[in-house]
Structure 1
Amino acid sequence: MTEEAAPVRAQLPDRGARAVLALARFEARKLLLTVPVVIAFVAYVAWIVWRTRSSWDGYPALQDVDRATQSMPMLVGLAVLLGAARAVVRSERHGTEHHFGVLVLRPWQRTAGHALSVAPAALLTAVCVAGQFGWEALKPGAVGHGSPAELAVGPLTVLGFGTLGVLLGRLTRSAFAAPLLVVVLLFVFVLGTGASEESGLSWLAPVVSVTGPDTLPSDLMGRPAAWHALYLAGAALCLAFLAMAFSGGRGTFVRTGLALSLAAAVTGGVLQARGVAPSPELTAARERASTHPDLRCTEHGGSTYCAFPEWGPRTGTWAGIVDRVQAVAGGAAHDQALVVRQRIDARYGPGTDTAIPASTERHRVTVGTAWGGNRIPEFSSAVAAVLVAGTEEAGSELCDGRMVTVMWLSLSWQDDPMGALRRVRLDDSVSGSAIVLSPTNPLSMTEGQTDVVRRLLENPPAGTGARVKKHWAELTAPGVTTAHVAEVLGVAKPEKADSCED
């Protein structure tokens, strides 16, 4: 009897491990094929395709892209939570719980199998995250660097929600608890306003995504992403081991796993809270980037373009816009050497909307970190204003007929001049007075100037470009009226006179 019993006891742990893995594979397959999970993943993939095709107008910064992968996995996580909880209580609902007493698996091992079954859903989420990020990274206009810790948030969120579902099933043994919790979490995390970076407490949420109009260099982001990933991983494992403990697991494996995962979650939670406030070194680096940035300068066509290192590949694109604006300019502006410098205000961190003051240095143009879409006519308007007025500050104060010349230089060469006129104006209008956006201080157009510009762009008289170059000095003279500019360019005069207060 002793000789026969010894090998059986030696093989039980191995049999138990294989049985746990077999159960995990079976439950993972059923989980991935449940209707809520299938719908969630289909919606997730459809959202990735729909959004990524035109996101950031084809010019993404990867330090923004990594955070953009975090929100939709929460929807997948809620579906996984629901499926995992229903799987745990399936035997209770079907009245088959007593049949499991004859199996080699003890209750806590069955719980371990259910906890492992959510891992494939997290891995599939990681594949989707990698696909979304890779698609953005392969765009010709992509710049910057992504963070692996930020990219891990989505899969870890799914893993955490899944293990929460397993724990909920073990605690309540109810088929109604999970749907109720899903509704609560849906309103709190998915449909709610979301957390902000203002306090360490907000980082206890799975996703803390704060976006702003301007992208910062990746080394100035200052987000405690690595500690947050540790916190999420520790929390997910802690929930899994708690579920095993509530199922009767009292062995060394469960106790050690629970202690280590809890320590990881607490460590990550504490350190991410401390990391919310920028360090003195980060504060100093942001100050330097805002006031005396270390830019890399290159020359294109006689002009100098200075950018943060991550934006270096984009200088050629800026040069193309400058060349097209100068191509329709006359006089000395046609060949004027410009200095295009990238400027940001990073002192308040990501997610803040700060105004960049206009430069007072002659022939200097400011460009931001965002590009594509509306940023193109905004930049071309800034270039045109500097060519006409000499400085950005003087350009922002234009109120006479020179504004017509500025807008002609900025928009006449674009594929859709009227569409660009609409996009560059604050109110998206093509009539009446309006503010014209630019990287620094905005410009202003009166109603009369808008009328003249609209006529020029909708149906330009033959030879308008040649007349602009021939009468350049006249069209850019301080105090020239909009009516006189219209007469020179061969369009009807405006009904109203120039007025900065119009």
Structure 2
Amino acid sequence: MTAALARVETWRLLRHPFVLVGLVLSCWLLWREITANRPVLHFLDLATPTALMPLAGAALVAANLATLRARRDHAEDLYATMPGRPVPRVAAHLAALLPVALVAVALVAAGVAWAASDPYAVGTPSLLELAAGPVVVLLAGTLGVALGRLVPVPVAGPLALVGWLLVSMVVFAIGPAIGPGVLWFSALVPDFRPDAPPSGVVLARPAGWHLVYLLALAAGLAALTVARVGARRSGLGGFAVALAVVLAAGVAQAGAAPGSAAGDARVATAEAALRQNCQAHESVTYCAYPGFEVRVPLWRDVVRRVRDRVPAAAASAPLRVVQQAQHWDAASSGATGRLPSNGPEDPVVVPVSWPAGDTAGFERLRLGIAVAQRSLALPALGTAGREGCRPAAGGGVALWLAAVADPGAAAALRADLKDLRDAGPGLLYVNSSHSSLSDFTWGRAEGEQAVLLLDRPEAEVRGLVADHWALLAAPAGTLAQAATALSLPAPAC
């Protein structure tokens, strides 16, 4: 009887409009996450539970409505005349959640397989982290069934969903300020680092204990529901066991979370093994974390575009391009910020994450500007480090070099300049996705000059740059002098 009911409830749940809409939204969120950046698979797995939240919310409400169906249809008295207790019907509603969780598993597997097919994908996903998303879907559906029996009113499911979303929003908003152990008692535990870690081990997340914690929560809710409808002894016994597992797993995950002693020890051990692999191409040395060497061609393409347009002496000067992860928490990473740096002779730093699609132009622009800054020996602080209208002479040319041969970078430069125009005078751009003393800071004066150069034939500008390179790279040169040499209007700053 239970198996037949489970088949019927499964079919009804899978084609419920809420579940179908939730599935579509989850597919869209996962697609956005995969296409936003070149995949780092050991960081992508952390995003799957969040992407599955629409499906989880839909499972909660749909399962709650299915459990309340007999009450809505005024069929409770009819069911009371039938042999057997309500336990088989509750078991059928709970069993119907398993195929929904399997749909979530299939969605995650398809998304990771698609991401892994990217030629620049790196890393290895954690199966434990990937499993958390489908288990959250199962937990949400179980909560819906439990509410249908424990609080049999139509608004209980939607209110529970709203409450869950509010708690998740609070976790996302103030997560870094919460103690490392407390955070893990939430169903969703995002990672708040601004850049993807170079290795999944460095995350030091207690994903295994958290998975046990979520499964025990779902089992406890199911057991409590079964106890409520008649199977009191077995239900309460199962609830007691599940509660003990929840407490044990909760304590274990809190003790192993990043920021704790155990988490810090694992992170320190893992980071000690992250020795970068370096490879030389002409006069440029590229250093990447193990496994990330496949992304060196992305950096080489940007570097080549810039150095092909500068004089031979500058193009042959030694340059280092170094990959560096930035972590938000010193205690959980062992290192914060970027490599120590204080001038144009420092290595060019690229982040672990690398954008894809339209947003890639902004990262290529920033890398190109950093390379041009080293070629021109520009001071680390552009307009911000000068008095009045005396920014470095080569500032506009540096922006032009980064954008002239890259349509995406050129579009990014024009977009940044538009922001500067809209904001009025005084706003400066730091040329990096991370802050560093070696970043070239540029403002509207440099941006306007670069756009004017982009609107002219490249061959003409290259000739002028070559003729006046000494001025553009001179420490005492000014942007006004560069404007005269390049036949541009005097800068307004």
- Residue identity opposite 1:274 in structure 2: G
Match status 1:271 vs 2:252: yes
Percent of aligned pairs with the same amino acid: 30
Q: Is the 8 A contact 2:101 2:135 kept in 1?
A: yes
3-state SS in 1 of match to 2:345: coil
Match status 1:437 vs 2:419: no
Match status 1:333 vs 2:329: no
Q: Is the 8 A contact 2:203 2:258 kept in 1?
A: no
- Residue identity opposite 2:405 in structure 1: W
- Residue identity opposite 1:156 in structure 2: V
Q: Is the 8 A contact 1:388 1:395 kept in 2?
A: no
- Residue identity opposite 1:407 in structure 2: L
3-state SS in 2 of match to 1:54: helix
Tell me: CA distance 1:462–1:297, structure 2 relative to 1, closer, same or farther (3 Å). Answer: closer
C-alpha RMSD of the superposition = 3.3
CA–CA separation in structure 1 for the residues paired with 2:344 and 2:269: 20
CA–CA separation in structure 1 for the residues paired with 2:222 and 2:94: 6
Q: Is the 8 A contact 2:204 2:267 kept in 1?
A: no
- Residue identity opposite 1:403 in structure 2: G
> Match for 1:117 among 82, 86, 96?
96
Q: Is the 8 A contact 2:383 2:392 kept in 1?
A: no
Deviations 1:54-104 (A, max 9, x none): 312xx1222321122112422322222222222223223333334445656
> Residues 250-289 of structure 1: matches in 2 within 5 Å?
250=232, 254=235, 257-278=238-259, 280=261, 283=264
Query: Where does residue 408 of structure 1 map in the other structure?
Result: 400
Tell me: CA distance 1:84–1:354, structure 2 relative to 1, closer, same or farther (3 Å). Answer: same
> Match for 2:230 among 227, 233, 248?
248
Query: Where does residue 388 of structure 1 map in the other structure?
Result: 376
Query: Where does residue 478 of structure 1 map in the other structure?
Result: 475
TM-superposed CA distance for 1:473, in Å, is 2.7
CA–CA separation in structure 1 for the residues paired with 2:26 and 2:147: 25
Match status 1:457 vs 2:454: yes
- Residue identity opposite 2:411 in structure 1: G
- Residue identity opposite 1:333 in structure 2: A
Query: Where does residue 25 of structure 2 map in the other structure?
Result: 43
Tell me: CA distance 1:343–1:80, structure 2 relative to 1, closer, same or farther (3 Å). Answer: closer
Query: Where does residue 492 of structure 1 map in the other structure?
Result: 488
CA–CA separation in structure 1 for the residues paired with 2:347 and 2:275: 17
Deviations 1:342-389 (A, max 9, x none): 223443547x99465425583632222122322211111111111221
Query: Where does residue 83 of structure 1 map in the other structure?
Result: 62
3-state SS in 2 of match to 1:340: strand
Q: Is the 8 A contact 1:126 1:152 kept in 2?
A: yes
Deviations 1:188-235 (A, max 9, x none): 336985562532223222112133321112221122222111111111
- Residue identity opposite 2:22 in structure 1: A
> Match for 2:192 among 211, 214, 230?
211
Which is further off, 452-461 or 341-350? 341-350
Tell me: CA distance 1:268–1:248, structure 2 relative to 1, closer, same or farther (3 Å). Answer: same
TM-superposed CA distance for 1:322, in Å, is 1.3
3-state SS in 2 of match to 1:170: helix
TM-superposed CA distance for 1:402, in Å, is 2.2
TM-superposed CA distance for 1:329, in Å, is 0.8
Q: Is the 8 A contact 1:362 1:390 kept in 2?
A: no
- Residue identity opposite 2:223 in structure 1: F
Tell me: CA distance 1:450–1:406, structure 2 relative to 1, closer, same or farther (3 Å). Answer: same
Deviations 1:3-56 (A, max 9, x none): xxxxxxxxxxxxxxxx2222111111111222222222233234444x257312
- Using structure 1 for the length normalisation, give the TM-score: 0.83
Query: Where does residue 282 of structure 2 map in the other structure?
Result: 301
> Match for 2:463 among 463, 466, 481?
466
3-state SS in 1 of match to 2:227: helix
Match status 1:229 vs 2:211: yes
Tell me: CA distance 1:304–1:271, structure 2 relative to 1, closer, same or farther (3 Å). Answer: same
Which is further off, 442-451 or 315-324? 442-451
CA–CA separation in structure 2 for the residues paired with 1:133 and 1:461: 42
3-state SS in 2 of match to 1:26: helix
Deviations 1:402-449 (A, max 9, x none): 223322322222215542324566945598663241353332335543
Tell me: CA distance 1:300–1:256, structure 2 relative to 1, closer, same or farther (3 Å). Answer: farther
The number of equivalent residue pairs is 473
Tell me: CA distance 1:281–1:426, structure 2 relative to 1, closer, same or farther (3 Å). Answer: farther
Q: Is the 8 A contact 2:381 2:440 kept in 1?
A: no
Q: Is the 8 A contact 2:382 2:441 kept in 1?
A: no
Which is further off, 442-451 or 127-136? 442-451
3-state SS in 2 of match to 1:211: coil
Query: Where does residue 347 of structure 2 map in the other structure?
Result: 364
Q: Is the 8 A contact 2:33 2:44 kept in 1?
A: no
Tell me: CA distance 1:192–1:35, structure 2 relative to 1, closer, same or farther (3 Å). Answer: farther
3-state SS in 2 of match to 1:196: helix
> Residues 7-26 of structure 1: matches in 2 within 5 Å?
19-26=1-8
Q: Is the 8 A contact 1:115 1:163 kept in 2?
A: yes
Tell me: CA distance 1:222–1:469, structure 2 relative to 1, closer, same or farther (3 Å). Answer: same
Query: Where does residue 4 of structure 1 map in the other structure?
Result: none
> Match for 1:238 among 220, 235, 239?
220
Q: Is the 8 A contact 1:448 1:494 kept in 2?
A: no
3-state SS in 2 of match to 1:71: helix
Q: Is the 8 A contact 2:365 2:409 kept in 1?
A: no
Query: Where does residue 128 of structure 1 map in the other structure?
Result: 107
Match status 1:379 vs 2:395: no
TM-superposed CA distance for 1:326, in Å, is 0.6
- Residue identity opposite 2:226 in structure 1: M
Query: Where does residue 499 of structure 1 map in the other structure?
Result: none
> Which ranges of structure 2 fall in alignment gaps of 5 or more residues?
none
- Residue identity opposite 2:345 in structure 1: R
TM-superposed CA distance for 1:459, in Å, is 2.4
